Amino acid sequence: MNPVLPGAPWLIAHRSMIRVNRPYKVTLNGQDYVLWQSDRGEIFALNNVCPHMQAPLSDGWICKQRNTISCPFHALEFDGEGRLQREGKQNTQIIAQPLKLKVIGDCIWAYGDCEPRTDIPGIVEQIASEYDFVGIAGEKTIRGDFLNVWSINSDFNHQNGTHRELFQIVQNQMTKFDKDGYWYKVEQESTRAKNSFGELLSNPVLFTIPKIFKSTVEYFFPSVLVLYGQTGIGSFVQVVVQYPQQDNQTKIYELIFAKLKAPWIKPLLRQSMLKAI
């Protein structure tokens, strides 16, 4: 496929998505890559095609002593630079294609095989320094091309339809809009239905949402959009990440952060919050 928005930075994974010493496959702009993380937290990435007979390296295994990945077919072993290792000795020649990564805190960014044309937005790093990380929510591949998925997920006026059932939102109003180049920001007020106690008990997340819920959404096209919400128990941030996998396939997941008034409730709410999102 022709890369979508070549030169744009993509947040291809959060560190917590990659199990230590296990291969993790990422597809970006039609190209498969394999990532792995060492005991010491170093992240490596190679093109997912073995240069010998094209087996997918992500089906192989990691040697944690040498930080290498072995191919599942004939067990050739490569380090994170793509150099062959033989009987513990390193070859100097790069034969498996490495993917250039930019690891910022726990966020793993890449431009794929394209030259960078825009900077990585600093917003996720800033949020991570101010809020506690709660977890990853909604990780899935959506059938749809990237720009359509972005435009659907950017529709700030969907709350009273899409979120009517789960969050009982019945009305949504934009109160402010700002824009500067590829960045834009929406402030909005969403009204929650009058819920019975039984409804609140069956969906505990509703306890955290005030009757008039004020939120702000900041868009950093095309990498992330960020929803800031204020509830009775504290504030939370949803970082919605999207990147193109194939012409008609888009990856989406959310990084959830919170600053709770009583931090001890985080373990209690964590699961229901991630599930609801």
Q: Which stretch binds ligand FES (CB under 6 A): 38-46, 73-81, 155-163, 205-213?
A: 73-81
- State yes or no: residue 114 binds ligand FES (CB under 6 A): no
In whole angstroms, how close is the CB of 55 to ligand FES at the nearest point?
4
- State yes or no: residue 103 binds ligand FES (CB under 6 A): no
Q: Which of 50, 239, 260, 277 binds ligand FES (CB under 6 A)?
A: 50
Q: Which stretch binds ligand FES (CB under 6 A): 50-58, 132-140, 167-175, 221-229?
A: 50-58
Closer of 76 and 169 to ligand FES (Cβ) = 76
C-alpha 30: how far from chain center: 18
- State yes or no: residue 95 binds ligand FES (CB under 6 A): no
Q: Which stretch binds ligand FES (CB under 6 A): 69-77, 104-112, 114-122, 132-140?
A: 69-77
Report whether 237 contacts 124 (CB < 8 A). no
Q: Which of 61, 73, 133, 221 binds ligand FES (CB under 6 A)?
A: 73
Contacts with ligand FES: how many residues (CB under 6 A)? 8
d(CA 272, CA 139): 16
Residue 9 DSSP SS3: coil
Residues 5-34 that bind ligand FES (CB under 6 A): none
In whole angstroms, how close is the CB of 15 to ligand FES at the nearest point?
27
Residue 262: exposure state from Cβ atoms within 10 A (0-12, 13-18, ≥19): exposed
d(CA 276, CA 162): 13
Distances (CA, A) of 259 to 128, 132, 211, 262, 268: 11, 6, 20, 9, 14
Q: Which of 52, 64, 179, 261 binds ligand FES (CB under 6 A)?
A: 52
Q: Which among 272, 196, 197 is positioned nearest to 233, based on CA atoms?
A: 272
Report whether 81 contacts 69 (CB < 8 A). no
Q: Which stretch binds ligand FES (CB under 6 A): 46-54, 127-135, 159-167, 239-247?
A: 46-54
Q: Could you tell me the two tokens for 145? A: 């091309």
d(CA 262, CA 114): 45
In whole angstroms, how close is the CB of 20 to ligand FES at the nearest point?
23
Report whether 25 contacts 8 (CB < 8 A). no
Closer of 77 and 106 to ligand FES (Cβ) = 77
Q: Is the peptide bond between 222 and the residue preceding it cis, with omega within 30 degrees of 0?
A: yes
In whole angstroms, how close is the CB of 61 to ligand FES at the nearest point?
12
Q: Which of 17, 55, 104, 142 binds ligand FES (CB under 6 A)?
A: 55
Q: Which positions lie near ligand FES, rule CB under 6 A? A: 50, 52-53, 55, 71, 73-74, 76
